[in-house]
C-alpha cells in the first residue's frame, strides 16, 4: 500500500511550487492529498490541486462534516508536509490552533510532520518566528531550514522555500525514519561532493560515474543539523544547493584538494564524499587529439597519480597545519573480488588512510552511483583492537543515510563515541 501524504499549502507566493511537490510525491508512489488554506487558494486554484492529487480540495472544518474529515485526514496520513509554511501558519501551529482544515489536520496528526518555511528574511529572523520554530521542533515537528536566495520582489536572503525536489527527498527520508536534530549547532563542516574531471584536451576528460547525490545529501543533513556548511562541489549533475551552504565549484582533483584544505583550516569536520579520480593525464593537449591513419594519439596517454586528499588532511592535522580536533570522514566505493569483500576492502582503507570514520558502499550494478538510495557500513577505529567498530547502514534514501552519518559525526565531535 502506498504512503498517504497530506500536502498542506500556506498562503504565500511559494504556493505555486507545491504543485511540483505534489507531482514529485505522486511520481514516487505516494497517495497525495492537498489541503490548502483559504489564503493559498488566492495564489493557486483548487482545480489545480485536485487535478494534480486526484482528490477533492477543502479548506474548512465544516466541509464534508458527515465524513468527519477534520479528524479523518490527519489520522489516516502517513506524513503531513506543509509547503510553504508561512510565518502566520507557523504561529498558528505553535499555538495549537484548529481554525481551518489544515491546522485541525496538523493537531490530529500522529504521523511525522514536515514544515518547509517560506517568508521574507526579516520574518524568518524575527524572535517571535524563531521561538515558534523552536517550539515546534521541541514537539518533534521537522522544520526544515529554508534556502537563501531570491524572495518576492527584488529582495534576497534566507527565507526562500526549498526546491520541491529537496522537500520531496526530505519527506521520503522522514517516511523512512529520518529525524534531523540540531546536533551540529555551532559547528563548521566541510563536505566534498561529485566526481572530479581531469582534462585530456579541450573536449575530453577522465572521470567517473559519481552523481554527487550522496555528498549533496550530506551537506543538506549537516545544514539541517545546524552546522555552518561549506560544500566543495565537483560534478554534481546540477543538483539543488543545500539550504544555508556556501558552495565552491571545482573541477579537478588538485582544485578540490586546494579548496578543501583552505576550508578545513577553520572547520570542526571534513566529510570527503567526492569521488576523486585516481589519475590524471600527465599533460593536457591544447588542441583536440585526433585519430589518424598513421597513428592514434588517444591510444597511448601518459597518466600520473592524483594526490590522496584524505591522507593529506590526516598528515596536515598531525603536523599542526589543521586543528588537532578536526574530524575527518572518508568514503569508499568498493567492489569485492576473490581475495576480499567490499566491506573488508573498506576496513583496510580506513586503517591505511588514518581517518576517524569511513562510509563503505558496495558499487556496481544497482549500486550507489546515480541511485536515489544507498546502503553500506559505517566504520571507525577501535582504540582497543585492530578491527574497526562497524555499524550496518540499511538501504534507504540518501538523505536518510546522510543523517545516519551526521549522527555518528556528532558523537565523534562531542566525545560520546570515543
For the chain, domain boundaries: 4-176, 188-414
Q: Is the dihedral of CA 264, 266, 270, 273 positive or negative?
A: negative
Residue 305: pLDDT over 80: yes
Find out whether 66 is annotated in a ligand binding site: no
Residue 139: pLDDT over 90: yes
Superfamily of 188-414 according to CATH: CoaB-like (3.40.50.10300)
Can you tell me the mean pLDDT for 49-57? 95
Q: Write the pLDDT tens digit of every residue in 195-230.
A: 999 998 898 898 888 889 999 999 999 999 999 999
Find out whether 90 is annotated in a ligand binding site: no
Residue 62: pLDDT over 90: no
Looking at residue 416, what is its pLDDT? 64
Q: Percentage of the chain with pLDDT > 70?
A: 94
Q: Where are the beta strands (DSSP E) in 91-202?
A: 113-117, 142-143, 147-150, 156-160, 188-193, 198-201
Find out whether 43 is annotated in a ligand binding site: no
Q: Write the pLDDT tens digit of every residue in 364-382.
A: 655 555 578 899 999 999 9
Looking at residue 238, what is its pLDDT? 77
Q: Write the pLDDT tens digit of every residue in 78-134.
A: 999 999 999 999 999 999 999 999 999 999 999 999 999 999 999 999 999 999 999
Find out whether 281 is annotated in a ligand binding site: no
Find out whether 97 is annotated in a ligand binding site: no
Topology of domain 4-176 in CATH is: Rossmann fold (3.40.50)
Find out whether 328 is annotated in a ligand binding site: no
- CA-wise closest residue to 188 among 322, 17, 336: 322
Find out whether 353 is annotated in a ligand binding site: yes
- What is the SS3 assignment for 229-284? EEEEECECCCCCCCCCEEEEECCCHHHHHHHHHHHHCCCCEEEECCECCCEEECCC
Would you place residue 317 in the very low, low, confident or very high pLDDT band (cuts 50, 70, 90)? very high
Up-side HSE of residue 290: CA atoms within 13 Å toward CB?
4
Looking at residue 1, what is its pLDDT? 63
Residues labelled catalytic: 208
Among the residues of 17-57, which ranges form H helices? 17-27, 46-53
Residue 38: pLDDT over 80: yes
Residue 195, number of CB atoms within 10 A of its CB: 20
Judge whether 4-176 and 188-414 match in fold.
yes
Can you tell me the mean pLDDT for 20-27? 97
Would you place residue 74 in the very low, low, confident or very high pLDDT band (cuts 50, 70, 90)? confident
Query: Grid cell 598531525 — which residue?
Result: 318
Would you place residue 154 in the very low, low, confident or very high pLDDT band (cuts 50, 70, 90)? confident
Looking at residue 293, what is its pLDDT? 52
Looking at residue 289, what is its pLDDT? 81
Can you tell me the mean pLDDT for 145-155? 84
Find out whether 288 is annotated in a ligand binding site: yes
The pTM of the full predicted model, rounded to 2 decimals, is: 0.89
Q: Write the pLDDT tens digit of every residue in 39-48.
A: 999 999 999 9
Q: Considering only 93-97, 168-172, 302-306, which range has the smallest mean pLDDT?
A: 302-306
Find out whether 308 is annotated in a ligand binding site: yes
Amino acid at each position: 500500500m502506498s504512503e498517504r501524504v497530506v500536502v498542506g499549502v500556506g498562503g504565500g507566493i511559494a504556493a505555486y511550487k507545491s504543485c511540483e511537490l505534489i507531482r514529485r510525491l505522486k511520481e514516487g508512489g505516494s497517495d497525495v492529498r492537498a489541503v490548502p488554506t483559504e489564503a493559498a487558494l488566492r495564489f493557486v486554484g483548487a482545480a489545480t490541486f485536485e487535478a494534480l492529487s486526484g482528490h477533492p480540495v477543502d479548506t474548512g472544518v465544516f466541509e464534508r462534516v458527515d465524513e468527519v474529515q477534520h479528524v479523518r485526514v490527519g489520522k489516516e496520513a502517513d506524513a503531513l508536509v506543509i509547503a510553504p509554511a508561512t510565518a502566520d501558519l507557523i504561529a498558528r501551529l505553535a499555538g495549537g490552533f484548529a481554525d481551518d482544515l489544515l491546522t485541525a489536520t496538523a493537531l490530529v496528526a500522529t504521523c511525522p510532520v514536515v514544515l518547509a518555511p517560506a517568508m521574507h528574511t526579516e520574518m524568518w529572523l524575527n524572535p517571535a518566528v524563531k521561538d515558534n520554530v523552536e517550539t515546534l521542533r521541541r514537539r518533534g515537528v521537522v522544520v526544515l531550514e529554508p534556502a537563501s536566495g531570491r524572495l518576492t520582489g527584488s529582495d534576497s536572503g534566507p527565507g526562500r522555500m526549498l526546491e520541491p525536489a529537496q522537500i520531496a527527498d526530505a519527506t521520503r527520508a522522514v517516511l523512512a525514519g529520518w529525524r534531523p536534530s540540531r546536533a551540529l549547532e555551532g559547528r563548521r563542516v566541510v563536505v566534498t561532493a561529485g566526481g572530479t574531471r581531469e582534462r585530456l584536451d579541450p573536449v575530453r576528460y577522465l572521470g567517473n560515474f559519481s552523481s554527487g547525490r550522496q555528498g549533496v545529501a550530506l551537506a543538506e543533513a549537516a545544514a539541517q543539523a545546524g552546522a555552518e556548511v561549506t560544500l566543495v562541489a565537483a560534478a554534481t549533475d546540477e543538483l539543488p544547493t543545500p539550504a544555508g551552504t556556501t558552495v565552491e565549484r571545482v573541477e579537478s582533483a588538485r582544485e578540490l584538494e586546494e579548496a578543501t584544505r583552505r576550508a578545513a583550516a577553520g572547520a570542526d569536520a571534513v566529510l570527503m564524499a567526492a569521488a576523486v579520480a585516481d589519475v590524471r593525464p600527465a599533460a593536457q593537449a591544447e588542441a583536440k587529439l585526433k585519430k589518424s591513419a598513421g597513428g592514434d594519439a588517444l591510444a597511448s596517454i601518459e597518466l600520473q597519480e592524483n594526490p590522496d586528499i584524505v591522507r593529506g588532511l590526516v598528515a596536515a592535522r598531525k603536523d599542526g597545519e589543521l586543528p588537532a580536533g578536526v574530524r575527518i570522514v572518508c568514503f569508499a566505493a568498493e567492489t569485492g573480488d576473490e581475495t576480499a569483500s567490499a566491506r573488508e576492502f573498506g576496513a583496510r582503507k580506513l586503517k591505511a588512510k588514518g581517518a576517524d570514520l569511513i562510509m563503505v558502499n558496495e558499487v556496481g550494478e544497482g549500486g550507489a552511483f546515480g541511485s536515489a538510495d544507498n546502503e553500506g557500513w559505517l566504520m571507525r577505529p577501535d582504540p582497543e583492537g585492530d578491527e574497526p567498530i562497524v555499524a550496518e547502514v540499511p538501504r534507504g534514501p540518501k538523505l536518510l543515510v546522510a543523517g545516519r552519518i551526521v549522527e555518528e559525526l556528532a558523537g565523534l565531535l562531542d566525545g560520546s563515541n570515543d
